Structure formats: structure tokens, C-alpha cells
Structure 1
């Protein structure tokens, strides 16, 4: 008899339609959901019952995404099947667990959209639509200049660029970090293959601009400030013109003195080397040459006729 009543209640609920209207005995409640790109996301939904329902048992749970033909997850009378990357948020889920939240393992831009959860219990049925919003943070912007080196009396074009964010954000320019110059810039947003955006903004500075710093700030779709970078004209290397407010490191100011000092040191070393060679005394050779007699040191000179007769023993 109880089973007949249950089937009758289910048939009535189905004939009325699921919709967002709450069933008298069973209904589904969902929270607003926001997922981060590259992270896990959860569609938070639970089954609610009236006081008359005691110890309900879940027979069927189905999760679908709007626009997809096949369901993402189906639990039907004890058997669970799901598309890769989708599962119940609670791993130990069973037919008594009223938490039917859907877990997305790796959130991408394509996961953003509306989802429908339908449940069928032994005490009634329920259905609820919920939405997932996906966000991705933008990278720190980079400012490039054209020409690369600031030239006095010529126009300067600054380009600020960032990427990797979602939804589409905005780049704003500030002069000296307080005056908004965004309206003077040209903005462009381009979606990438994965749906995330690349943002660029070009600001042309006419000759005679007196401001020193230009700041590019990234704002997300919720008008929240994310990243910023500042370009200082005084720190860009000028080709000609007056010196910047903050003196730059000039190589020519130290290269020339180093070369001169080095030359002097080398010259002094060479001079000392040759001077020592000239002052070094020459040592006479003590060995007699071939065919010569050994000379006696400090011997008085004499003629051949006065040479001593060795054979006669005449030494006088």
C-alpha cells in the first residue's frame, strides 16, 4: 500500500513538472557558485524534506548542463555513472546522503553556465537550476615604449598588455598615479583559445608632455583592481636633450679614467722592468777558452823574452 502511495506521489509530481517550485515533501536548494580557472569547483546543492518525511531514500539523481545532450552524472538505483572530471562532492556519497553537490575537478571557461539537478526519492521528487560563474586572474601587466629609448621632441607611444584573465577586464591609465587618462588610450580585448582574454591598451604621448610617470592598472569584470605597473620617463635612457631629473648611470664618466690609470700603471711597470735589467752586473766567465792559457789574477805584464823558463826552473 505504501509503495502504491509513493508511486502515485511521484506520478503527480512528474505530471506537475519539476520547475523551481518546491515539492510539498521534497525539494532541492542550491547556492550561488563561483569557480576559479584551473581549480576545483563545486555546485552546492542539497535535498530538503518536510517534517512528514522520515528517513527518505534517494532513488535517482541526475546532473545536466544547459546545452549538453548527455548528462554529466547519473545515479540510478544504486548504480553511479559520470563523465570524466565530474563526481559527487562527497566521496562517501550514498542513497541516504542529502548532499548532492557536484564537483568539477579542473575548472575551465567552458564550464561556466547553467546546470540542472533532478532528484527522485521514495518520498517525492525535486529539481533545481543553478549557475556556475568562472573567473581567472590576470597576469601582471607589462609596459613597452616606442621608440624604446626616449627622444626629446618626439612623440612616445606606450603599450600596456596583460593576459590570462576572465571575464573580460579593463586597462586604465593614470598620470602620476592620480589623474585618469584612460579615455586618451586605445583599448583592445582578444579571447584566447581557452577562452581567457588578452588585454592591450595604447597611449600616445605628444612631444612636450610634462608628466613623469604613467601607471597602467588592470581591473577585472567586477571592477576590482588586480595588478598595476608604472612607467617612469625620467628613467628611460634619452638619446639627446637635457639630463633626466634622476641622473642615470653614465658609462663614459668612468671608462675613460680607468683606461688612463691602467695605462699609467702598465707604463710604470715596464719602466721598472727595463731599469732592473740595465742595472744587473755581468759576471765574467772563469773557464779558459780552448787553446788559451789560464791567466793568473793580478800578474804583472811581461814580454815574451822575460817569460819564465819552466824547463830550466828559472822563475826569477
Structure 2
């Protein structure tokens, strides 16, 4: 009964003063307000009066959230009437020392939650007229740094791999995007899922499937908010495990491509050195052979030498 009496009282004053003095009083509110989850939010509204109004005095202030009928009728977020202020927990005037001469009727939300996002209406009744205005609150929350893990945990060059990225604590719904070490985006090849938690915040998860033989060294998962701005990122470095195949040279990829040319070049160098040594040895042999004196004798020379020998013996 008491709540019905208060409502009838407000209605009577509202009808009586609206047609006569509404032009003298105007409530001006900021169209949109942005609040951070878990922090204070301010819904800004100020009462403006015409020059004809002398010593304006506020008699009634009502703050309500649209779409909550029971709250409007029985228990507004903030109610000032006959010098008494009634507040729901978590709401207050923006100025702690507010009084009837203070035209700043802004509403302060002490601990912003997701469910407080929406449209609000502020109604003011003064000794010179009444007015009401609407404003809205947009709630945002920053996403936490992503975490990345792989399936399987041990990665080899001959294994298909799935990278999984998770980030939570954000609002509104954001997006996870993938990039490789060359800053090429792989988001179209991934699958993302967004779930609402009990707190009203989002949990984002994304899976990126990688085929064997096409794995880069590093992958980065970046989380973007609803406005498209990057908030956090994490990088995963792919480390291949040693397997019997890699030890025997199979599946080494780039390593085998490097070793094979080195072996061929080494063999060519050794062959050239052997050939060079043979050429040097041959040249030295020919030079030594030419250095020995030689003389050819004909038959006449032999006869003359024999006669000389006989005279000497006589």
C-alpha cells in the first residue's frame, strides 16, 4: 500500500506540473556512457533551468533502468523524495554531498557488472517544473593474455598438429586471430568458439590445424576486442622432437638438403687435389730424366776406340 501511495503522489505531481512549467526545466544526459567491468561507472545527467527560474530547488529524483517493471514501480535504483534518499546497493549520487540545490543528478555505479548494461531514465521534479531524459551504459572488459598448447604435445616433422588458443575475462564478444612468423594470417583456417561464463564475460577458444610438412617455426595468437583493437597476444614456438627417422637422415627436410651438396663439393675438391698431385709428380720425373748426359756412338767410333786401346798396350 505504501508503494502505491508513493507512486500516486509522483503521478499527481507529474501531471500537475508538466503542462505548466515543463519549459522552464530540462534534464540533459550524456547519450552514451562506457563503463569498465568491476570498476565505477558514471551516468551523467544535469538539470538545466531557464533564466526565468529563480532559486530552483529539486524535490524528487528517480533513477530507473528500462525493462525492469518491478524495479520501476516498487524500488527504483535511486529515489530522492521529501529530503530522504533511498538507494539500491551499488548505486548513489555521483557527488556524495548532493543536496536539493545541486543540479548535478548523475548516477554512480560503484561496481559495474555486465547485467548493468542497458538504457536508463532520470526523472527530476523541481519547484519550477519537471523533466526526464534517457541515457545508456555500455560495459566493456579487457581480455586476458591468451594461452597456447598443442595436440600432440610432442611434435615431429611427420605429425599433424593442432594448436589451441584460449582467452577469457572479456566483454563484449571478441575474436582470436592466428599469424605465422612471417606475419601471414591463418585465421580462416581456424575454428573459434565463444562461451558466456557465469559472470557474463566471454571465454574464447580457437583451434588451428597444421598438416605435416607445412609447419612454420612460430605461431602467434592475438585477441581482439569487439571494436577490432588488439588487446593481448601469445606466441607458440614449434620444437620438433628427435626420432629414429631423423637420426638416419629421413625426414630431415632442410638439413638433408644442406648436407648432400656439401658431400658432393667435398668429393670434387679431393679429386682435384689428387689430379694436381699427379701432374706435379709427372713434371718432376720428366725434369730429372732430362738432366742425365747421354752419347750415341756409331761403328766408326767403336773402331777408333779399339785401335787406341791396342797402341796403349804395345
Match of 2:196 among 191, 199, 203: 191
Match of 2:26 in 1: 27
The verdict on how the C-alpha distance between 1:79 and 1:244 changes in structure 2, with shifts beyond 3 A counting, is: farther
Match of 2:96 in 1: 91
Give 1:154 shift.
1.0
The verdict on how the C-alpha distance between 1:45 and 1:177 changes in structure 2, with shifts beyond 3 A counting, is: farther
**Unpaired runs of 5+ in structure 2?**
1-11, 255-314
- Root-mean-square deviation (CA), in Å? 2.3
| Counterpart secondary structure, 1:139 | coil
The verdict on how the C-alpha distance between 1:113 and 1:141 changes in structure 2, with shifts beyond 3 A counting, is: same
| Counterpart secondary structure, 1:110 | helix
The verdict on how the C-alpha distance between 1:148 and 1:122 changes in structure 2, with shifts beyond 3 A counting, is: same
Give 1:237 shift.
4.8
Cα offsets for 1:188-240 (capped at 9, x unmatched): 0000001000000000000111422111000000111100011121xx25142
Match of 2:85 in 1: 80
Match of 1:150 in 2: 155
- Structure 2 matches for 1:157-306, cutoff 5 A? 157-176=162-181, 178-233=183-238, 236-240=239-243, 241=246
Q: TM-score, normalised by structure 2?
A: 0.70
Is the contact between residue 191 and residue 198 of structure 1 (CA under 8 Å) also seen in structure 2? yes
Measure, in 2, the Cα distance between the counterparts of 1:87 and 1:221. Answer: 30
Answer 1 or 2: which has greater helix percent.
2
Measure, in 2, the Cα distance between the counterparts of 1:244 and 1:120. Answer: 80
Give 1:11 shift.
3.6
**Unpaired runs of 5+ in structure 1?**
1-7, 17-21, 246-316
Cα offsets for 1:127-159 (capped at 9, x unmatched): 011000111111000000011111121101000
| Counterpart secondary structure, 1:24 | helix
Is the contact between residue 112 and residue 131 of structure 1 (CA under 8 Å) also seen in structure 2? yes
Match of 1:121 in 2: 126
Match of 1:101 among 102, 106, 131: 106
Give 1:23 shift.
4.1
> Which 4+ residue blocks in structure 1 deviate beyond 4 angstroms?
242-245
